[in-house]
Amino acid sequence: MDFLQSILDGNLDTTREDIEKLTRMVRNIYRTKPNVVEIPSRNVFFVGDLHGELDSILGVQRLLLKYKTHSFVFLGDYADRGPAQIETINLVLALALSEPERVLMIRGNHESDEVARRYGFYSEVTRKFSFEVYSKYLEVFQVLPIAVTSSNGIFACHGGIPEGVSSLDEIQRCNRVNQNFPDDILHQLAWNDPKEADFRFAANSRGMRVKAFGRKAFNEFSENIGVKIMFRAHEIFPEGFKKFFDGKLISVFSAAYHGAAVPMVLRLGADFKVEPMKL
């Protein structure tokens, strides 16, 4: 596994063959995972949107070395927009391969052909390599799980709570193996946003198939599924994170966006104590 160690050592100028190996190996690990993956009940880091920012993933790599007893859940949106999209996603894939027991990638709304074609990843990969290489990444995107849960009530996904779902089984039964998000439940899990309001669901300017979920929807979902604390990413906040619904939902963003946000991760220790940490 010399090629893997080389990437982990910071040699991010990968070849087509390296990418083919990386994507094939990650796909083989992830294809059999359920839509909602069980994670440990404490000592977990949650990583928000990376969007092609190498400094952010290098910061996470340092935390992985420092916090050996912790698991790391990447909440999606690895490429698009930023300056080092291929390098960033390759390093995430390499970390997921090198430590499969404690690193988990889930799927964000940008892990889709439609979105990656609009926001830069498609252009970047086809310019540097080829459409064939781009399609190898798509094969990984479509097998990434959509959410995580734990026995003590953690729930996390990229976007938010979907309308009309009252059990984890309904999410587990969805078919995620598609380059896009034809399934409305999976689409909303990757796209929805929380809103500090008393409604259940409302329209969202992100699109017709996207909702804003309010306190009522959050409370009902939490009660039905047994959620005590929820993590999600997907939105930029200047401080890099934001608490909703009396601190029961925390949104995290791990890219800097040219200084628009402090790149943060969240560390969940014992007893649901959440520590925001700057990358």
Point out the residues that are catalytic: 110
Q: Tokens 């689409």, residue?
A: 187
- Cα(140)–Cα(23) distance, rounded to whole angstroms? 6
Contact segment (CB under 5 A) with Mn ion among 8-16, 107-115, 123-131, 179-187 equals 107-115
Residue 136 binds to Mn ion (criterion: CB under 5 A):
no
**Closest separation between CB of residue 261 and Mn ion, Å?**
13
Q: How far is CA 86 from CA 44, 46, 54, 149, 248, in A?
A: 26, 21, 9, 29, 34
Q: Which of residues 76-105 bind Mn ion (CB under 5 A)?
A: 77
Q: Answer yes or no whether residue 107 interacts with Mn ion by CB under 5 A.
A: no
Cα separation, 1 vs 74, in Å, equals 23
Residue 26 or 157: which CB sits closer to Mn ion? 157
Shortest separation between residue 99's beta carbon and Mn ion, angstroms = 24
Of 6 and 180, the one with the shorter C-beta distance to Mn ion is 180
Q: What is the CA radius of gyration of the chain?
A: 17
Q: Could you tell me which stretch among 85-93, 228-236, 241-249, 260-268 binds Mn ion (CB under 5 A)?
A: 228-236
* Residue 232 binds to Mn ion (criterion: CB under 5 A): no
Reduced to 3 states (helix: H, G, I; strand: E, B; else coil), residue 38 is strand
Residue number, 124 or 193, with CB nearest to Mn ion: 193
At closest approach, how far in Å is the CB of 117 from Mn ion?
Answer: 15
Q: Does the footprint of Mn ion cover residue 234 (CB under 5 A)?
A: yes
Q: Shortest approach of Mn ion to residue 112 CB, angstroms?
A: 10
- Backbone φ/ψ region at 53: left (φ over 0), alpha (ψ -120 to 50), beta: beta
In three-state form (DSSP H/G/I as H, E/B as E, the rest C), the secondary structure along 165-209 is CCCHHHHHCCCCCCCCCCCHHHHHHHHCEECCCCCCEEECCCCCC
Q: Which is nearer to Mn ion, 52 or 108 (CB)?
A: 108
Which residues inside 52-81 make contact with Mn ion, applying CB under 5 A? 77
Q: How far apart are CA 76 and CA 234, in angstroms?
A: 8
Q: How far is the CB of 86 from Mn ion (least distance, A)?
A: 19
* Residue at shortest CB range from Mn ion: 234
Asked if 109 is part of the footprint of Mn ion (rule: CB under 5 A), the reply reads yes
Count residues contacting Mn ion (CB under 5 A)?
A: 4
Q: What is the 3-state secondary structure (H, E, C) of 94-108?
A: HHHHHCCCCEEECCC
User: Which residue type, as a one-letter code, is found at position 194?
Assistant: P
- CB of 107 or CB of 200, closer to Mn ion: 107
For Mn ion, the binding residues (CB under 5 A) are 77, 108-109, 234
